[in-house]
């Protein structure tokens, strides 16, 4: 087990290093010039050359990559081409919006999707099960921005109970206002995530319901609910944990769309603005952070699945011994 954990940790570090190089290279291949975008129309060649020298974009790509990598090793994410502020400070200023949005949406989606997915599987031949599956399928087909627009129309414009967008300038120093401003975005992301997860939870539960050990438990006098709770949830949790981890990681990507719909000053809005301004240090730092979150979540998924199902630990040990 320890050997497998070490191998997975090394694979995580190697994957992160490769992802960083790929992100850096791809951004340098995109058309456009950060200096030209900053100075605008009518800029002279001397002005462009001077700004490129100040930004460091006139250096060879290898030198730029080495400077970025050495900066990352010391915790320096670089300096924004546009605001000339440290990228770490820009990201830290936006995290109080994006992080609560993503985590709250994930928790809400789990509370919605897990019980509904189980109900849809247990009552798959009934009206309730069919209705839950149909609504989940509809939710997958509906774009997330459209869900946000509809929620704004109902709860902000018609009912007037929640703000249509924005975030209070005082931030979380006024918790009530901050929570009110994030309510509709959180619900929007949670609806989109729940629609996907309900289907996976339903599928995993159906697989468990067809297993022999569950029928054996029923024959011993267990009710269907007790048999499922005692013997089914643990076995059905392994595939569900995988999709939950993926949804947690991708909730950061969903914030890019939702934050722009609700005019929230989070990481999604920062990423979009930085792409438009060709602010490469900010873009590459954000993309690398999102990639690191995805890789880390996958690493934790592997450990969680092995903790849930001891057979996976045995398989991992067998593979390690064979190597």
pLDDT band of residue 260 (cuts 50, 70, 90) is confident
End-to-end CA distance of the chain: 14
Residue 61: its pLDDT value, please? 77
The DSSP call for residue 125 is T
Rg of the chain over Cα atoms, rounded to whole angstroms, equals: 24
pLDDT tens-digit series, residues 1-42: 667 678 778 888 888 888 888 888 887 776 666 665 665 555
From residue 109, give the alpha-carbon distance in Å to each of 181, 196, 198, 219. 19, 10, 9, 35
- Please report the pLDDT score of residue 108 as a whole number: 92
Task: Name the token pair of 13.
Answer: 């570090």
25-35 in b/e burial notation, b at 16+ Cβ within 10 A? eeeeeeeeebb
183 or 6, which is more confident: 183
- The reported pLDDT for the residue numbered 40 is 58
What CA–CA distance (Å, rounded) separates 115 from 201? 9
Number of C-beta neighbours around residue 98 at 10 A: 24
For 86, phi then psi, to 5°, come to -60, 135
Structure tokens at 6: 């070490």
Say if residue 179's pLDDT is above 90: yes
- Assess contact for 302 and 33: CB atoms under 8 A: no
Domain boundaries, the chain: 11-73, 95-276
* DSSP label at residue 126: S
Whether the model pTM is above 0.75 = yes
Please tell us whether the domain made up of 95-276 is placed in CATH 1.10.10.10. Answer: no
User: What pLDDT shows up at residue 321?
Assistant: 47
Q: Exposed, middle or buried: residue 45 (CB in 10 Å: 0-12, 13-18, 19+)?
A: exposed
pLDDT, tens only, 147-172: 888 999 999 999 888 998 889 888 89
Assess whether pLDDT exceeds 60 at residue 256.
yes
Q: What pLDDT is recorded for position 224?
A: 66
- What digits encode the pLDDT tens for the residues 263-321? 899 888 888 888 887 888 888 888 888 888 888 888 888 777 777 766 665 555 455 54
Segment 247-266 mean pLDDT? 80
């Amino acid at each position: 087990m320890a050997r497998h954990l070490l191998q997975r940790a090394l694979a995580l570090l190697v994957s992160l290093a490769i992802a960083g190089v790929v992100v850096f290279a791809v951004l340098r291949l995109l058309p456009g010039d950060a200096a030209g975008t900053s100075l605008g129309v009518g800029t002279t060649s001397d002005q462009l050359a001077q700004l490129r020298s100040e930004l460091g974009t006139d250096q060879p790509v290898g030198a730029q990559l080495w400077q970025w990598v050495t900066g990352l090793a010391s915790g320096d994410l670089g300096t924004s081409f546009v605001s000339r502020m440290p990228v770490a400070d820009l990201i830290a200023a936006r995290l109080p919006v994006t992080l609560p949005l993503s985590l709250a949406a994930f928790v809400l989606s789990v509370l919605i999707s897990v019980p509904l997915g189980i109900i849809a599987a247990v009552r798959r031949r009934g009206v309730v099960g069919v209705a839950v599956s149909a609504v989940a399928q509809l939710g997958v087909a509906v774009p997330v921005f459209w869900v946000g627009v509809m929620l704004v129309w109902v709860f902000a414009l018609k009912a007037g109970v929640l703000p249509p967008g924005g975030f209070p300038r005082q931030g979380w120093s006024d918790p009530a206002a901050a929570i009110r401003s994030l309510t509709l975005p959180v619900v929007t992301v949670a609806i989109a995530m729940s629609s996907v997860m309900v289907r996976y939870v339903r599928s995993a539960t159906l697989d468990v319901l067809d297993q022999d050990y569950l029928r054996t438990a029923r024959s011993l006098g267990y009710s269907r609910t007790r048999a499922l709770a005692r013997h089914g949830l643990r076995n059905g949790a392994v595939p569900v944990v995988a999709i939950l981890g993926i949804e947690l990681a991708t909730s950061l990507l969903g914030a890019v769309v939702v934050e722009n719909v609700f005019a929230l000053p989070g990481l999604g809005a920062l990423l979009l603005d930085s792409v438009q301004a060709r602010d490469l240090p900010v873009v590459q730092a954000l993309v690398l952070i999102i990639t690191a979150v995805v890789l880390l979540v996958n690493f934790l998924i592997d450990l969680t699945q092995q903790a849930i199902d001891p057979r996976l630990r045995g398989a991992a040990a067998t593979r390690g011994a064979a190597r």
